[in-house]
Amino acid sequence: MDNASYAKGLEGVIAAESRICKIDGENAKLYYRGYSVEDLAEHSNFEEVTYLLIEEKLPSSDELARFSSNMRSGRDLAPPILQMIQDFPKTAHPMELLQSSIAYLSGYVKHRIQHSSNCDCKQTLHQVAQICSVIAALYRSRQGEDYIAPRTDLSHGTNFLYMLRGSDPEQYEGEIMDKCLVLHAEHGFNVSTFTARVVASTLSTCYCSISAAMGALFGSLHGGANERVMEMVDAIGKKENVKNWINNALDRKQKIPGMGHRVYKAKDPRATIIENYLLELSEKKNDFRAYEILKDIEKVFRDRMDEKGKPLYPNVDFYSGAVYRLLGIPSILFTPIFAASRTAGWLAHILEQRKDNRLYRPKSLYIGPEPLEYPSP
């Protein structure tokens, strides 16, 4: 196959140039458009970060006000989407519904942009704004509770908690929720972002590209690690059991979820930040169970890894599940929340892909049977 080379899983292949996200694995630093996630988590919010990712710069205060108002006004769901959510089987996973509803939403946007490499889908913010609404509506429908209409006076994170609960969250809860969305908004190339870019390279719609990315995030090799971390916490039960449990698991060569990262050679900067949120929430709610178990897992695990000369550190998924749980969010919504946040990054990648587009068209190597006769009857 003329000069082509086989790269299983596309390992070692650079598929695109990108200006969106810099990951400095050696120093455990992560930057969106040049700004460190530490700064963004401390000073910014999800709406501003969405603007930064999509518009390639921080907004002025006027620009942010217009952008927020636009995003907030798009939060509410059309009745057919609500119907679809209510009819969705209770046993199915919310990620299936999310993938489905985002493609469906594509039909509901007046200014949906498609089939153009010069698209102005920066105006098409519904997919960022409405995903949290779909998640909240689905959760309440499963609980047999009514849909709570969104409010426009609340930040993205606070409004999400409000739509889940039907009552005002505490201010610190809304802030932590919003900052968690900031910290998950973008992380360079990974299989869901790559999927979004592949679909966008056909000039399909932004919605259809994001819907496809959600299908990838649903895969157990990609999303869902923070759910598994909390299953581990529950299996361990109390702090006193950590050492035995982890040592047994490692002796059985079991993988410890939330530990290790392909890129970071030290503790994931997002894990460091989220650990602080967890401590803050544990103090406010006077519930340290998960925090203490997680800290002990980290310690026991790192001691074992250090002995082996294979240092491994917590990644973003290690502490986030415990934060969400203290915010009253059930595990099944963890991956959907990741999707709601990452949609900002996906959209930035879709826009970047379209700016200098080339259809993704790798080859395959045929290793099947040579021509066969169709059997005579």
**Spatial separation of the C-alpha atoms in residues 113 and 375, rounded to whole Å:** 49
The span of 141-149, 270-278, 325-333, 357-365 binding a copy of itself (CB under 8 A) equals: 357-365
83 binds a copy of itself (CB under 8 A): yes
Specify whether 126 is catalytic. no
CA distances to 16, 134, 367, 374 from 114, in Å = 21, 23, 37, 43
205 binds a copy of itself (CB under 8 A): yes
Nearest distance, CB of residue 177 and a copy of itself, angstroms: 21
Specify whether 317 is catalytic. yes
Binding residue for a copy of itself, selected from 46, 51, 67, 88, defined by CB under 8 A: 88
371 binds a copy of itself (CB under 8 A): yes
307 binds a copy of itself (CB under 8 A): no
Contacts of 201 (CB under 8 A, 6+ apart): 353, 357, 358, 359, 360
Helix, strand or coil, per DSSP, at residue 35: strand
219 binds a copy of itself (CB under 8 A): yes
Give the CB-side neighbour count of residue 239, counting CA atoms within 13 A. 10
CA distances to 276, 296, 323 from 291, in Å = 10, 9, 9
CA distances to 5, 63, 65, 133, 189 from 48, in Å = 42, 10, 9, 19, 22
216 binds a copy of itself (CB under 8 A): yes
Q: Active site residue: 178, 261, 268, 349, which one? A: 261
Footprint of a copy of itself on 111-150 (CB under 8 A): 114-115
Nearer to a copy of itself, 57 or 66 (CB): 57
Nearest distance, CB of residue 74 and a copy of itself, angstroms: 16
Binding residue for a copy of itself, selected from 26, 107, 285, 287, defined by CB under 8 A: 107
Query: Could you give the strand order of the β-sheet that contains 21-24, starting from the edge strand earlier in sequence?
Result: 21-24, 29-32, 35-36
* C-alpha 2: how far from chain center: 39
Q: Using an 8 Å Cβ cutoff, are 321 and 277 in contact?
A: no
Footprint of a copy of itself on 182-201 (CB under 8 A): 188-192, 194-195, 198-201
Footprint of a copy of itself on 7-46 (CB under 8 A): 7-23, 29, 31, 33-36, 39-40, 43-44
59 binds a copy of itself (CB under 8 A): no
Instruction: Count other C-beta atoms under 10 Å from residue 367's C-beta.
Output: 5
Nearest distance, CB of residue 37 and a copy of itself, angstroms: 11
Footprint of a copy of itself on 229-268 (CB under 8 A): 262
Binding residue for a copy of itself, selected from 111, 153, 221, 252, defined by CB under 8 A: 221
The span of 78-86, 233-241, 253-261, 317-325 binding a copy of itself (CB under 8 A) equals: 78-86
Binding residues for a copy of itself, total number by CB under 8 A? 108
Nearest distance, CB of residue 215 and a copy of itself, angstroms: 4
Instruction: Count other C-beta atoms under 10 Å from residue 186's C-beta.
Output: 28
Contacts 24+ apart (CB under 8 A), 291-298: 291/322, 292/239, 293/233, 293/236, 293/238, 293/239, 293/242, 294/229, 294/233, 294/318, 294/319, 294/322, 296/239, 296/242, 296/243, 297/232, 297/233, 297/236, 297/242, 297/246, 297/256
Binding residue for a copy of itself, selected from 152, 202, 244, 248, defined by CB under 8 A: 202
Phi, psi values for residue 166, rounded to 5°:
80, 10
Nearest distance, CB of residue 20 and a copy of itself, angstroms: 6
CA proximity to 182, closest of 151, 160, 156: 156
Binding residue for a copy of itself, selected from 160, 207, 277, 301, defined by CB under 8 A: 207
Binding residue for a copy of itself, selected from 45, 68, 100, 341, defined by CB under 8 A: 100
Binding residue for a copy of itself, selected from 25, 142, 170, 204, defined by CB under 8 A: 204
Q: Using an 8 Å Cβ cutoff, are 182 and 174 in contact?
A: no
Task: Give catalytic residue positions.
Answer: 261, 317
